A and B are shown apart, each in its own frame.
Chain A
Amino acid sequence: MYDKTVRRRRLVLALLVVLSLILLTAYFGESSSGGLHSVQRGFLTVVSPIQNGANKALKPVRDLIGWFGDTLHAKGQRDELRTQVDRLRREVIADDSEKHSYRELLTLFRLDNQLSVKDYHPVTATVVAKSPNVWYSTVTIDKGESAGVRVNDPVINGEGLVGKIAQVASDGAQVTLITDSSVGVSARIGSSGATGIVQPKVGEPNDLLLQYLPANTRAEKGEYVVTSGTVSSPDDSLYPPGIPIGQVTSINEESAYRSVNVHPLANLHNLDVVQVLTAARGSLPANLSRVTAALPPGRQGASSGEQLASTGGG
């Protein structure tokens, strides 16, 4: 009797381990349109409304817990923001006259058809699930295909760039955050205009690194890094230019290319509401994304993407 119990116990363990390994191998080996991925999308479709309901019901609990942490940081943040407001006010006044000249020049040279956030149709979504471990920088939102959300659509919030859509179900979608190792965003430094690619910093997954900048790039601590409106690979999303990504924290000069450390502006640990920038079929962003994705490898450089983005509408 004892032997039978032991045998059954070990058999159950072996069966479950083998089943897990089969699942893992099959899932890892198949494409995103494979059977297991479809099952996962189906599950997401079913549980999205439940997650959404649970999310709304549990929001007071989350807010209460978050309130304690927020209160502790509020005083320090207030002083920091006052200094920032003073600096920004001075910058806005100085930029106003430059902006006027810039608009005149754009009109003069017929360059005012660049892709911008206005060309997209923003869909507001609520974050309903978040992975608890360091391996997955993803969140799940409550809007999907039925709201016009598609794979690779850019995702932003009030603070800046958040990420892009990785998988879509009918009423939910998975967002890969900009801190995920699979994401690279073409970006430029606000003042100098030098362009590079923003990727997560190795060893510090909550920080970013703007890489492949020209060696003579000058950057100051606190400068803003924004999207450049170009793509660096066929799988990338064509983010509209000018979306804030982060602020420069330090500059690295040890290699032929210069790189700067960037702290993301969006608080990716505490995402609640985001906007997905969707593009209707036939619109300028959709056409540009289609063109850049269709280019053969090696053609999607910063320059080609930049050219496409700036000439696509005309």
Chain B
Amino acid sequence: MGPLGSPALLGRIAALSIVLVFFQIGVVSEVPVFGVSADLSPLLVAFVGLMCGSTLGALSGFAVGLLVDLALVQTLGVTSLTLTVVGYFAGRLREARDPQAALTPLLVGAAGSAAAMVAYSLVQFLLGVDAPVSLELLRQIVLGVVVNTIIALPVWALVRRCLIGGLPEDPRRRRRRAYTTGGLSPLSRS
């Protein structure tokens, strides 16, 4: 396995990214909830980072962002920049803390979506794009984060199911699983 992960894992991430981006563009964007559309791309990137680490998170963020910008004929680089950062920090969270709580994906999805939307808006402002700065924009961001949070757990389940087979066995998780099932428990040894 290379430093970025096995070819099988990279293939799975690429396939999942392409399918989800086209599903986003063709279906999810067409279905407004509370007046906004869900955005699967920050969720996808954050969850790849959470499962595979910061390097793969950042790389998938860049690739997904580039794909979105190309497919939607948007300014190239804006989505890549924001999603790279989202993927990296989601991966760092896993590497530094490795949170195991059931609600972790929900919080990571919400934080990743909020960070991506705010960063995206900031970059657009810096580029001088003529768009309304108003409560409406704030409302759209807040509602976008709420909608993304609602769908975070199903998206996490999908990403996890698709990538888990390509991931190497994590020694820390193996140890934790063994501990909880009694294999390495100090009580069982005594």
A interface residues, Cβ below 8 angstroms from B: 8-9, 12-13, 16-17, 19-28, 36, 39-40, 43-44, 47, 50-51, 54-55, 58, 61-62, 65-66, 128-136, 138, 140, 166-167, 174, 181-182, 200-205, 269-270
Given known contacts A13-B88, A20-B62, A134-B131, A51 and B77 CB-to-CB distance under 8 angstroms: no
B181 within 8 A of A: no
5 shortest interchain CB distances as A-B pairs: A24-B77, A23-B77, A203-B134, A20-B81, A27-B76
CA distance A130 to B73 in the complex (A): 10
Among A16, A128, A129, residue most surrounded by chain B Cβ atoms (within 10 Å): A16
Given known contacts A9-B54, A13-B84, A202-B134, A51 and B32 CB-to-CB distance under 8 angstroms: no
| Cβ–Cβ < 8 Å partners of A43 in chain B | 70-71
Given contacts A24-B77, A55-B26, A182-B130, 4 further A-B contacts (CB under 8 A): A8-B3, A20-B65, A58-B23, A140-B73
CA distance A129 to B74 in the complex (A): 12
The residue from B61, B73, B134 contacting A44, defined by CB atoms under 8 A apart:
B73
B90 within 8 A of A: no
| Cβ–Cβ < 8 Å partners of B132 in chain A | 181, 200-205
Among B38, B81, B121, residue most surrounded by chain A Cβ atoms (within 10 Å): B81
B149 within 8 A of A: no
| Cβ–Cβ < 8 Å partners of A201 in chain B | 132
Complex contact B22–A51 (CB within 8 A)? yes
Kindly supply a per-residue 1/0 record for chain B positions 104-121, scoring 1 wherever the CB is within 8 Å of any chain A CB and 0 otherwise.
Answer: 000000000000010011
Can you name 14 A-B residue pairings with CB atoms under 8 Å? A12-B55, A13-B58, A13-B84, A17-B85, A44-B70, A47-B71, A61-B27, A62-B27, A62-B31, A66-B30, A134-B36, A135-B124, A138-B72, A203-B134
| Cβ–Cβ < 8 Å partners of A182 in chain B | 130
Complex contact B29–A24 (CB within 8 A)? no
A-binding segment of B5-13, B135-143, B158-166:
B135-143
Complex contact B39–A132 (CB within 8 A)? yes
| Cβ–Cβ < 8 Å partners of A50 in chain B | 22
Complex contact A16–B77 (CB within 8 A)? no
CA distance A33 to B55 in the complex (A): 35
CA distance A129 to B25 in the complex (A): 5
| Cβ–Cβ < 8 Å partners of B76 in chain A | 23-24, 26-27, 36, 40
Residue of B nearest to A12 (CB): B55
| Cβ–Cβ < 8 Å partners of B136 in chain A | 134, 203-205
What's the nearest-Cβ distance from chain B to residue A9, in Å? Answer: 5
Complex contact A17–B26 (CB within 8 A)? no
Complex contact B74–A24 (CB within 8 A)? no
CA distance A141 to B54 in the complex (A): 36
Complex contact B26–A16 (CB within 8 A)? no
| Cβ–Cβ < 8 Å partners of A270 in chain B | 30
B129 within 8 A of A: yes
| Cβ–Cβ < 8 Å partners of B78 in chain A | 20, 24
| Cβ–Cβ < 8 Å partners of A134 in chain B | 36, 131, 136-137, 140
CA distance A125 to B71 in the complex (A): 17
Given known contacts A131-B74, A132-B24, A9 and B55 CB-to-CB distance under 8 angstroms: yes
| Cβ–Cβ < 8 Å partners of B81 in chain A | 17, 20-21, 24
| Cβ–Cβ < 8 Å partners of B140 in chain A | 133-134
CA distance A8 to B129 in the complex (A): 35
Given known contacts A20-B81, A28-B127, A203-B136, A269 and B32 CB-to-CB distance under 8 angstroms: yes
CA distance A173 to B104 in the complex (A): 41
B152 within 8 A of A: no
What's the nearest-Cβ distance from chain A to residue B183, in Å? Answer: 28
B17 within 8 A of A: no
| Cβ–Cβ < 8 Å partners of A136 in chain B | 72, 74
| Cβ–Cβ < 8 Å partners of B75 in chain A | 24, 27-28
What's the nearest-Cβ distance from chain A to residue B89, in Å? Answer: 10
